């Protein structure tokens, strides 16, 4: 098995693979050279995590809030805003289909979205960052099994 964090990230990647706009162009990291043949695409990565102990006696139960970023990349000379909107819609619908991430988590929430446009290359590159908060719980002596 793997850390619950990785299991949740893998679950999200699976949920996002095969969407209409990005298809199978879903990558499990933030540092990836995306050629035009891989666009539009999504990159999924863990951004941060906060922990709160829920009990006093060992093994203590821990409630974690995991922040995952989903970056969508679109390269086009026009219509990129519409494509970004389609990506945001498809990602939202896919994530909200299973808020528990296959019973790994207590909840999944989209907490923010921001986008940037770079016109440095031949075609503008638009990037949208969708920030997702996932809460999950475990016992401190077992980081592979959610409770």
Confidence of residue 68 (pLDDT cuts 50, 70, 90): very high
Q: Which of 55, 43, 52 is nearest to 91 (CA)?
A: 43
- Residue 122: pLDDT band (50, 70, 90) is confident
For 38-50, what is each residue's pLDDT tens digit? 899 999 999 999 9
| CA neighbor of 71 nearest in space, from 115, 38, 102 | 115
**pLDDT computed for residue 41 by the predictor:** 95
Q: Please, which pLDDT band fits residue 36 given cuts at 50, 70 and 90?
A: confident
When the pLDDT of each residue in the chain is averaged and rounded to a whole number, the result is 94
- What global pTM score does this model have? 0.94
CATH of domain 4-142: 3.30.70.1700
Cα separation of 108 and 82, whole Å? 25
d(CA 36, CA 82): 18
Domain ranges of the chain: 4-142
| Helix boundaries (H) for 17-130 | 80-96
Nearest to 136 by CA among 46, 78, 61: 61
pLDDT at residue 32, as a whole number: 62
Bridge-based pairing state of the strands 125-139 and 142-146: antiparallel
Give 3-15 as a DSSP string.
Answer: -HHHHHHHHHHHH
For residue 1, name the pLDDT band (cuts at 50, 70, 90).
confident
Longest dimension (CA), the chain: 60
């Amino acid at each position: 098995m793997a850390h619950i964090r990785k299991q949740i990230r893998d679950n999200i990647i699976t949920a996002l693979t095969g969407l209409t706009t990005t298809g199978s162009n879903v990558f499990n990291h933030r540092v990836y050279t995306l050629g035009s043949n891989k666009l539009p695409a999504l990159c999924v990565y863990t951004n941060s995590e906060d922990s709160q102990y829920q009990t006093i006696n060992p093994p203590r139960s821990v409630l974690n809030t995991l922040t995952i970023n989903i970056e969508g990349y679109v390269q086009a000379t026009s219509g990129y805003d519409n494509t970004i909107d389609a990506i945001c819609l498809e990602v939202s619908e896919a994530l909200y289909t299973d808020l528990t991430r296959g019973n790994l988590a207590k909840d999944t929430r989209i907490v923010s979205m921001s986008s940037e446009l770079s016109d440095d290359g031949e075609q503008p590159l638009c990037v949208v960052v969708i920030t997702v908060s996932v809460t999950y719980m475990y016992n401190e002596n077992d980081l592979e099994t959610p409770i």
